[in-house]
A and B are shown apart, each in its own frame.
Chain A
Amino acid sequence: MSYDQARWAEDDQYEPLLSEKFNREVEVDAPLPDDLMRDSLELPAPSEPELARHYTRLSQMNYGVESGPFPLGSCTMKYNPKFTEDLAALPSASVHPDRDPDTVQGTLAVMGRLSAYLADIGGMDAVTLQPPAGAAGEYTGVLIAKAYHEANGEDRPEIVVPDSAHGTNFASAALAGFDVVELPSGEDGRVDPEALDAALSEDTAALMLTNPNTLGLFERKIETIAEMVHDAGGLLYYDGANLNALLGRARPGDMGFDIMHYNVHKTFATPHGGGGPGAGPVGVVEELAPFLPTPQVREVQDGAGEGDSTYELYDPEHSIGKVHGFSGNWLVLVKAMAYIARLGDEGLTDASAKAVLNANYLAEQIDYEIPFEPFHHEFVASAGEQDAAAVAKRMLDHGVHPPTTKWPEIVDEALMTEPTEVENKRTLDQLAAAFDAVAAEDEETLDAAPQRTTARYIDQVSAAREPRLSWQALGNEE
């Protein structure tokens, strides 16, 4: 397969900046004293047709899930169903956050229903929808752990995180004021109980774990791990980034996890939006429910029939307070609720089955070595003698989005690959052909890539050395 990305270019740049085409300076006037008012404002003022063309061209110079395969490991780049967009765009979904709960019963009903779905899917007892992203979910989770230990009169300053974990785990623990204890992976790529034993102590607040881990491997000794953490007085935190591997097959709550977050922009097919917004709801076991953020939604009475229940907001007794100014990324939550309702038990279970089948089938077709198995929804291949980052650039020329590269570090020149359930055999074969074509190519070809994308290879090092972060900064150079 081949692909030439659109390239709108003008002289020494691609599509000119809005400011270069449409900037207009206006004097500012308002009924304010002069010293409270700015003199002028200089912003682009395109007409609608000019604006539409600008953004359409920009969109053509961008690659989305519908453009082609997007096997970006750990990111779960699923197809985002269209109808969920329509629902989030309903005028009835757009309500002011300060409204009295009595006047937003519909919003609260959707939140209540989504919370119940997520609790069932994760095997948890209570769920907050407030965290606006996965990392915010982690932060919420570790705040809950902190509050729980404090309520028990314990000072536990450490969070244990495996070396193969997402960078956010470390950063979220640190943001909550914890010291991070890094847990080295065992030779089989999983948690080594001996190393865990050495890491745990009376200072341990929690162990954060992704299961299956970032190599796609299930932590077979999860029950032992849970027991060890609990015996040490700590809590077990589940990073939901890889939940798409387990839907309907296993639940974090049944494995002994006490707290978990869900990445709805991964598992539940809400769009990644070029970086966000996502949502990172957090589920907890009953003992931790009093620590959830404020406010929580609950059903107050069962009416005569379906849809007659009313909902109210309440503050959990020992709440950690707020992690978002309001109720998180509400419109994203609407989409997630609709996706789960569309799939139901059968669809969710099948989504995971097909995601795991696709990863295994793709792995079987490619020439790169895959050191760790059996993996589930994703695998980490090694580019061997090749530079994984260069492999990725060259894959762009073969019309596919490349895998996540150089991470986790436990695999040399890692190519972390997650095709998700949305590819069929034909597109997986095309993806495999792209892998194999690149595997057979020499260094020179790789170094010259990419050739067929909008931009050629971009020098990120010099961008960081002399940061130019605005059109004003570009203008000052001239």
Chain B
Amino acid sequence: MGGHNAGSPYAPHSPEETAAMLDAVGADDEADLFDIPESVRFDGEFGIPARDERTVRREVRELLDRNDKLVEFLGRGHYDHYVPSAVDHLADRQEFLTSYTQYQPEIAQGFLQALFEYQSMLVELTGLDIANCSLYDAATALGETATLAARVRESSGSHVLVPEHLRDGKRGVLENYADGVGLTVDSYPMDDGAADIDALEDAMAEDVVLVYAESPTVRGVIEESLAEIGVLADEHDALFCLGSDPVALSIIEKPAAVGADIVIGDAATLGLPAAYGMGLGMFATRESFLRQVPGRLVGASEDESGRRAYTLTLQTREQHIRRERATSNICTNQAWVALRRRDFGHPGARPRSPPLPGVRRADRPAGVGDRRGPPRRRVRHPRDRRPPATALRDRDQRRRDG
């Protein structure tokens, strides 16, 4: 390797070509084309030796081999899932991997459709109306949620409530985003790995604009009080954001049915290995916040031949048009990670029979969480804003039947 050019192996110019091109632009040398004042020219060297491909491969492989080979049980949102080979082979097709954001939709139908399908799957998993086609990771998605809450708030609230046990990175990112819009972040206590609902109710006395809860929580517990948290948020004119992941969402009650206004999380678990925390920020919300959504949205439209076609839409929310009044600064996102989702089969759901043996929730004495245990208190949602979970289920059923 190396070949034609003493410089970049990815610049294909032969010396003859370079000479002809320089001649065409009337320059003696490439250096003549740079309009850089002498005083700021760089005459030094970086001291980075060029290496051939094989040498770089060996070097990087040797460096990475210094990572200890361990079986990882660290979890907390990042799991050693097997990623089927088909994911790599299909996502690595250059038409996907090397393409740009779909600002010319006529030539980018394939990626747009894949993103539209990703959005749709999140709609099914969350029960919410809309999902965007990715943010960076769960932490920045939570941060974006705080800025959205500040924009749509119906009260003078300035507090965001998060669980006492929360990943530091998530809380840290949230604090930066919240600070930019004048919000402060406080935590509510947890009991036995899940929300202490009485303590949360007390904390709501402050002027709160956003309550965040997770299921599973960072301790791996299924949060049982989501519906109650939804009602508390509603009573205080605060938004309720649920953090979860797509695999858990395939089993637990639809977030929309427990009153969640926004669902965030890391969807990288669908097709990316535990890549030192590289993520896929999931973001789904209600239709009423459509024009407040951060990041890109793919919509269905028609082309001139009358066929269904896809395009980025509602771009007036975005930074390249709305600039400092945009809903977010995000431009480059995690589109290709969204493409990598392992979408054959259902992520976590199993047919009703046979049941999974021997699995039960953590932190609960046997029996309490048992299917045949005493029914938990059902919380009704205020009629004006959110139908109760059962009504939503009925509506879903009607939709399926209809």
Contact = CB atoms under 8 A, between A and B. Distances in A.
B8 A350 contact: yes
B42 A254 contact: yes
B189 to A, nearest CB: 21
Given A87-B60, A273-B335, A171 B117 contact: no
Interface in A20-40: 24-39
Interface in A82-104: 83, 85-87, 89-99, 102-104
Contacts of B391: none
A168 B319 contact: yes
B319 A135 contact: yes
Given A79-B10, A170-B324, A453-B106, A96 B332 contact: no
B376 to A, nearest CB: 6
Given A274-B100, A275-B332, A361-B24, A467 B378 contact: no
A189 interface: no
A273 B339 CA distance: 9
Interface in A158-187: 166-168, 170-177, 180
B97 A273 contact: yes
B42 A248 contact: yes
Interface stretch (B165-173, B195-203, B206-214, B233-241): B165-173
A5 B336 contact: no
Contacts of A24: 346
Nearest to A180: B324
Contacts of A168: 319-320, 329, 331
A260 to B, nearest CB: 14
Contacts of A269: 10
Interface in B239-298: 250-254, 257, 266, 273-279, 290, 296-298
A162 B57 CA distance: 42
Contact of B106 (A133, A424, A456): A456
Contacts of B109: 14, 58, 61-62, 454-455
Nearest to A64: B98
Most buried by A among B167, B257, B266, B333: B333
A347 B96 CA distance: 27
A145 interface: no
Nearest to A472: B123
B64 A93 contact: yes
Nearest to A293: B172
Contact of A273 (B8, B105, B336): B336
Top 5 A-B pairs, shortest CB-CB distance: A350-B7, A326-B277, A273-B336, A344-B50, A322-B172
B: interface residue count bin: 35 or more
A474 B136 CA distance: 27
B365 interface: no
A31 B359 contact: yes
Contact of B40 (A59, A66, A171, A254): A254
Given A19-B120, A331-B275, A345-B46, A275 B356 contact: no
B202 to A, nearest CB: 24
B178 to A, nearest CB: 10
Contact of A58 (B64, B110, B136): B110
A24 B346 CA distance: 9
Given A32-B252, A273-B336, 17 more contacts: A18-B343, A30-B359, A37-B251, A92-B65, A103-B70, A105-B67, A167-B331, A180-B324, A248-B46, A271-B336, A321-B176, A340-B48, A353-B31, A357-B33, A364-B24, A458-B302, A472-B124
Nearest to B290: A467
Contacts of A338: 56-57, 60
Given A30-B359, A350-B7, A376-B33, A120 B328 contact: no
A65 B95 CA distance: 8
A123 interface: yes
Nearest to B180: A177
Contacts of B329: 135-136, 138-139, 168, 171-172, 174-175
Contacts of A402: 104
A385 interface: no
A62 B169 contact: no
B110 A59 contact: yes
A326 B278 contact: yes
Interface stretch (A109-117, A199-207, A434-442): A109-117
B251 A455 contact: no
B190 interface: no
Interface string A317-360: 00011111111111110100110111111111111011011101
Contacts of B344: 44-48, 50-51
Nearest to B336: A273
A272 B167 contact: no
A276 B332 contact: yes
A326 B276 contact: yes
B357 to A, nearest CB: 9
23 contacts: A26-B346, A27-B351, A32-B222, A42-B124, A48-B86, A50-B344, A55-B91, A56-B90, A62-B110, A64-B97, A85-B97, A95-B274, A98-B78, A106-B65, A167-B326, A174-B180, A271-B336, A277-B332, A326-B276, A342-B9, A354-B18, A459-B301, A460-B312
Interface in B357-387: 359-361, 369-371, 373, 375-376, 378
B6 interface: yes
Interface in B168-191: 168-170, 172-173, 175-177, 179-182
Contacts of B36: 218, 246, 249-250
Nearest to B36: A250
A130 B346 CA distance: 33
A98 B11 contact: no
Given A94-B273, A342-B9, A110 B328 contact: no
Given A172-B329, A324-B140, A345-B45, A31 B360 contact: yes
A62 B95 contact: yes
A440 B74 CA distance: 63
Contacts of A463: 299-301, 311, 313
A303 to B, nearest CB: 12
B102 A345 contact: no
Interface in B307-365: 307-316, 318-326, 328-337, 339, 343-353, 355-356, 359-361
A250 B40 contact: yes
A450 interface: yes
A45 B359 contact: no
A297 to B, nearest CB: 12
